Amino acid sequence: MEQVFAPWRIEWIEREDQNSEIEGCVFCALSDRETDRESRIVARSEHSFVLLNNAPYNPGHVMVIPYRHTGAYTDLGDDELLDHARLKRRTIEALDRAFAPDGVNTGCNLGRSAGGSIRDHLHTHVVPRWEGDTNFMPVIGETKVIVEAVAETYDRLHEAFAEADDADGADPDRAVSVQ
């Protein structure tokens, strides 16, 4: 049997469950915290925020989440939908800047049968993809190797949003708050 060495993953293994003290909706609770880094929020807009996935499929796997607590996409108003779409676009731009992926998967799991683990609060996954990122390990070994620690991914992506904001100036259609 071959062994895969990923010593940087010890941070994930030894971490305290960051969400164990959260009652109610984890997305609502995380968005209300004062420290975005602690919550792994990499960017905010008027109606939505971008949260790093704590169990990523790939480095840079994030979710664009409306502040409003709803599980139904159809509940969002026009301003919320437009804001969500714009933040998703900015997220893809930041991922391109930070990671230069070969492609990106985006999507929502709507409803119980769609397989979402958090059904009561709408969220759109944005997952960077690279040629060959799906190989024999998940198929045969039933193991996915994540090559970067979540904290390092946070720093890279947070910086990419900040760089984009600096380059864009004060265009309100593209403004994203990075704390």
Residue 148 phi/psi, 5-degree rounding, is -145, 140
Q: In the chain, what are the domains?
A: 8-168 (3.30.428.10)
Q: Which residue has the higher pLDDT, 166 or 140?
A: 166
**Token pair of 107 as six digits:** 């999507």
- Report whether 63 contacts 53 (CB < 8 A): yes
pTM equals 0.76
Which tens digits make up the pLDDT trace of 57-106?
888 999 999 999 999 999 999 999 999 999 999 999 999 999 999 999 99
107: β partners: 125
Contacts of 98 (CB under 8 A, 6+ apart): 60, 156, 157, 159, 160
Q: Of 61, 84, 121, 123, which is the active-site residue? A: 123
Q: What is the separation, in whole angstroms, between the first and last Cα of the chain?
A: 45
Q: Is 61 a catalytic residue?
A: no
Assess whether pLDDT exceeds 60 at residue 22: no
Q: Give how far Cα 19 sits from Cα of 10, 84, 87, 165, Å.
A: 18, 24, 24, 30
Compute the distance between CA of residue 176 and CA of residue 179 in angstroms, rounded to an integer: 10
Compute the distance between CA of residue 143 and CA of residue 88 in angstroms, rounded to an integer: 29
Assess whether pLDDT exceeds 80 at residue 113: no
